[in-house]
Amino acid sequence: MNKKYFFFDVDGTLTVSDPSTQKTVVPESTRQALKQLKENGHFVSIATGRAHWMTREVARLTDIDNLVTDGGNGIVLDGQLAKLLPLDPQKAGALCTALTRDGRGVGVTLHDDNRLYFVSEASARQAPDFSSFMEYIIDETLDFSKEKIYKIFVTITEEEEKLYPILETMPHMRYHPNHLMIEPADKYAGITRVMEYLGGNMEDVVVFGDGWNDMDMFLKAPFSVAMGNAVSGLKDVASFVTKPADKDGIAYACRHFGWI
């Protein structure tokens, strides 16, 4: 069998919520499947929109030391960070400057960690509340045009988005009616970079996912596996639909195709 290069989404694919504890866990069948894939000589990687620093714990839980993070802008190989690209500097700087000028709550990440930067206390108070897992830093000297910005968090409605045409040229996700996150959203670009590093054949790439943010890599990858709990649109374009993540979905697909 040809060596395959597997890229797994995190939430709803590698991990599930334990109903008894409400904690995020990795099913034992998934752990064993990942172990067997590696023992059989396949390449195994995470592919997530999460920031690199947020992905380390999942990497530890799954014993995966290859990662595509930050929506395709981050690459980790053999546990070492090989690349971490910021958002387009000119666009990110211009957008943050315009949003701040208009008095909106704007927070930005400038490093590979949980620090979220604001130009003022007022801006921090108006911004989405991520204080439970991020440290808020006020820096009145912050010049958005001179910084490498990895993610932007802003309080803004869908209607108000129209006031900033530049947003149409930048990847963004809305997780709340009043909150917008501007972040990289091309996992497959990261997968392509990994394959270039490894010198692997793109035809041997296999991706697993369950959400809308996996659509891009599903449309581009030569073979895609949608979890049984995936959104219907992803199932429609997938090469194969397996069982749900909490019903041994990853192990089932890997056995079905003889990868383990």
* CA pair distance 226, 230, nearest whole angstrom: 6
Tens-digit pLDDT profile for residues 56-92: 999 999 999 999 999 999 999 999 999 999 999 999 9
pLDDT value at residue 202: 97
Distance CA 232, CA 52 (A): 28
pLDDT at 37: 98
Instruction: Write down the residue that tokens 């439970």 correspond to.
Output: 132
Mapped onto helix, strand or coil, the DSSP state of residue 5 is: strand
For the purposes of burial, counting CB atoms within 10 Å of the CB of 79, is it exposed (0-12), middle (13-18) or buried (19 or more)? Answer: exposed
* Rounded Cα–Cα distance for residues 43 and 48 (Å): 16
Burial class, 209, CB count within 10 angstroms (exposed 0-12 / middle 13-18 / buried 19+): buried
Q: What pLDDT is attached to residue 22?
A: 74
Output the six-digit token pair for 46.
């995470």
For 193-223, the pLDDT digits (tens) are 999 999 999 999 999 999 999 999 999 999 9
Q: d(Cα 234, Cα 209) in Å, to the nearest integer? A: 8
Strands 115-118 and 135-138: parallel
pTM: 0.92
Q: Return d(Cα 172, Cα 187) in angstroms, integer.
A: 13
pLDDT < 70 positions in the chain: none
pLDDT in the model for residue 131: 82
| DSSP one-letter string for 97-162 | HHHHHTT--EEEE-SSSSEEEESSHHHHHHS---TTTSEEEE-TT--GGGS--SEEEEE--TTGGG
Beta strands in the chain (DSSP E): 5-8, 16-17, 24-25, 43-47, 67-69, 74-77, 80-84, 106-109, 115-118, 135-138, 151-155, 172-176, 179-182, 205-209, 223-226, 240-241
